[in-house]
A and B are shown apart, each in its own frame.
Chain A
Amino acid sequence: MKRPISLTVNGRAETVLAEPRTHLAGLLREGLRLTGTHIGCEHGVCGACTVEVDGAPARACLLHAGAAEGASVRTVEGFDGDAVMTALREAFSAEHALQCGYCTPGMLVTARDIILRLPDADEARVREELAGNLCRCTGYRGIVRAILRVLAQRRG
């Protein structure tokens, strides 16, 4: 049975009709037409659906609508004006960190978390932290370089 689910998405209060079994990725894409959040494996492995929930990255495919009630969610569409995300977008472009773009929304949310949480991360740590986001196009080198570039910029 569908019921109203209230949550904050990209700073706006939203109420969406959804069944409790709908996952957050489906709710965002189909209920709110925010199709920047991609769906890959639907069991937590690929990272394509990674969004920010209450300030920390989470798998949108593993959070069902009932549990998402009251949460504050930020998707790849919600980072306008964010300095780290702006720098990451430029670095992803400069370093060829995307090809088809399927993994990119999840990569960007994870990358931003790495930069803010681990400002001293080296290449080995960046690779370890990226293990939960699969990319089938780039071979990761460009993605790793883009993140290292923003880390270096911020260290000044």
Chain B
Amino acid sequence: MKPAPFDYARPADWSAALALLAAGARPVAGGQSLGPMLNLRVATPEKLADLRHLPGYAGVTQQGGTIRIGAGTTHAAIEDGAVPGRLGAILAGVARRIAYRPVRNRGTIGGSLAHADPAADWVAVLPCFRGEAVVLGPAGERRVKLERFVTGMLATALSPEELLLAVELPALPEAARWGHWKFCRKPGEFSKATACVLAVPGEAPRAVLAALDAPPFVVADASALCAAPEAEAARLVAALDVADPWRAAIARTALRRAAEAAS
């Protein structure tokens, strides 16, 4: 199908972008989630504000122990190693399994988080890191912990007048262990259950279970899961009350496999 008519603007700076949003425009980045919604007429905005040309929107910088990934950084750039160090290697492995390369060439980490599909890969994985989303709004910048950014199905902590600027994540030591399991039947499909476990020496391991039609479920101290993956995965999933027994089964398996890989 073809989209309903809309107008298009390309703001040159951030204040122009915020002014467009205040006047009701919908932001667009890679268009890889919004594009299908426009074509299917699930979304019918009057005006789009294209963020792609804003200064500093894409790109990765490191300051001390913090790595800042601009919201406009594409999945493909992350797959190709834009993020340095151990964190970069982990994120590259996640990025490679998002959709297909032509989609990854345009789709952005910020667009993915802002869209907040519970099955999306960045939505599932980013809460595992002790990081923050940097948000720009009419009142200036504010920060939101990544585990609180996605609040529901297609719902986030952003107001319609705010933009996601970047995500900031702690750099990781080479010894950090990582387990990640994404269940999908064909490469590039949206996940049916995703789990990840991050174990940084000297810190409590963390785990996330996601893609269950609900916001990601964060286990802030996953020590028990790492010590007894099978039993603890079963206990955690049982407590989540997943309606579909098949879904519950693959969620348990994803969590167990991620924990085993990180232990």
Contact = CB atoms under 8 A, between A and B. Distances in A.
Interface stretch (A78-86, A97-105, A125-133): A125-133
Nearest to A57: B102
Contacts of A113: 101
B81 to A, nearest CB: 13
Contacts of B244: none
B38 interface: yes
Interface residues of B, number: 32
Interface string B1-25: 1111111111000000000000000
A66 B8 contact: yes
A65 B50 CA distance: 12
Interface in A36-85: 42-44, 47, 50, 53, 56-59, 61-67, 69
B36 A132 contact: no
A22 B188 CA distance: 26
A98 B220 CA distance: 51
Given A56-B105, A62-B32, A132-B102, A42 B8 contact: no
A19 B5 contact: yes
Give the interface size class of chain A. 20 to 34
Contact of B8 (A43, A53, A64): A64
B32, B38, B39, B50: which has the most chain A beta carbons within 10 Å? Answer: B39
Contacts of B188: 131-132
B10 A132 contact: no
A56 B79 CA distance: 14
Contact of A69 (B1, B10, B48, B105): B10
A131 B100 CA distance: 7
A132 B76 CA distance: 14
A21 interface: yes
Main SS of chain B's interface residues? loop
Contact of B101 (A43, A64, A129): A129
Interface string A109-140: 01001000100000000001101110000000
Contacts of A23: 2-3, 35, 39
Nearest to A56: B105
Contact of B187 (A22, A56, A69, A128): A128
Contacts of A133: 100
Interface string B106-133: 1000000000000000000000000000
Given A56-B105, A113-B101, A131-B187, A21 B36 contact: no
A62 B1 CA distance: 12
Contacts of B206: none
Given A21-B3, A63-B35, A69-B10, A44 B103 contact: yes
A67 B101 contact: no
14 contacts: A19-B5, A44-B35, A50-B102, A57-B102, A59-B35, A63-B31, A63-B35, A63-B106, A66-B8, A66-B48, A67-B52, A110-B101, A128-B187, A133-B100
